[in-house]
Structure 1
């Protein structure tokens, strides 16, 4: 399944209560995925992200980033390089209220690396928002699994790298980050007008 063949939304209701905080995956969701990116000059926002985050902040909803960066654990990046790339993300589409970065490889068996819930739980706590009132927006199944195992809501915004089975299993689908926010927050539609 390609990005172009995705229906704009899977419109299942997000569940009871409101969404009071949003966490985003970084690579492939907020910015174009450049594998093991150590260069802030390569940071490019994904379509609709800048406008969507501006509108989200206008509603006063706190936002954060939860990102796996196994390049640190693999020795392909330094933590300082990741911090510089994250600072560039903040310059272009921030600021974000919380950042969580997992530097581990899958083999490390840590509790923070998505699909584990550690970063989602920690970020929600720092935002001061109960995790069941948080949503995670990401582009792969690990993002969705981390949200679900933490007790948060989840929306998948697929890219060409997203596997078909991840798309089929997603509780909510949107073609863009703006579409994901409109699914979660009806007020986003009002701000758009």
Structure 2
């Protein structure tokens, strides 16, 4: 099966573990936010190819009081600036500030973040690549009709192990897996992501 035609379409990215290094202690401030090698260039390449770039990220550290909205905005501005310096653009960043106990619809694997992206970008989510590193990214993508792609960075290796669990095997069916965002971007741009 070939990837859908991506002309004029979008790519949705998880943030922590896909674009930047992740931490079990949370990414709390600008100095904690460090891009994964090749990720900024990969986003810029996708953008320069005519794809709209959206980020969908759970940020429960906000709801837990680990960092402020000012801190989060500073991280996102740095990310946008780095991509812009490479000739690309991030069109939208959607984030969930809630903790797991809040029971919201926006925290992945819920799909409200993806629905927000679809509405604001006038986008049909069917087949849109969603590149993530966690089971919740895969679940959200499949539930919304998007096309999940897993990277091994961040929580990716742990996610691969969890997909072997009998209750999770359905989420891993026909799941493209790449070393990192740069490799996933190469595959999409070369129309290899759905083979």
Q: Shorter-chain TM-score category?
A: 0.7 to 0.9
2:10 corresponds in structure 1 to 21
Deviation at 1:185?
3.5
* Aligned mates of 2:136, 2:39 — CA distance in 1: 20
* Aligned mates of 1:32, 1:107 — CA distance in 2: 25
Deviation at 1:59?
1.0
Question: What is the TM-score when the length of structure 2 is the normalising length?
Answer: 0.81
Q: Which runs of 5+ in 2 are unaligned?
A: none
1:134/1:153 contact within 8 Å kept: yes
1:31 corresponds in structure 2 to 20
Q: 2:31 aligns with which of 30, 41, 46?
A: 41
1:182 corresponds in structure 2 to 186
Question: What is the TM-score when the length of structure 1 is the normalising length?
Answer: 0.81
Q: 1:132 is paired with a residue of what secondary structure?
A: coil
2:62 corresponds in structure 1 to 72
Q: Does 2:145 match 1:151?
A: yes
* Aligned mates of 1:48, 1:122 — CA distance in 2: 28
Aligned residues: 176
Give runs of aligned pairs for residues 8-157 of structure 1, distance below 5 A: 13=1, 17-19=4-6, 20-34=9-23, 35-94=25-84, 95-157=89-151
Q: 1:130 is paired with a residue of what secondary structure?
A: coil
CA separation of 1:155 and 1:188: change in aligned 2, threshold 3 A: closer
1:102/1:112 contact within 8 Å kept: yes
Q: 1:55 is paired with a residue of what secondary structure?
A: helix
What RMSD over aligned residues (CA atoms) do the two structures have, in Å? 2.2
Which one scores higher on RCO, CA 8 angstroms, separation ≥ 6? Answer: 1
Give runs of aligned pairs for residues 164-175 of structure 1, distance below 5 A: 164-166=161-163, 169-170=171-172, 171-175=175-179
1:68/1:103 contact within 8 Å kept: yes
Deviation at 1:43?
2.1
Q: 2:177 is paired with a residue of what secondary structure?
A: coil
* Aligned mates of 2:63, 2:108 — CA distance in 1: 14
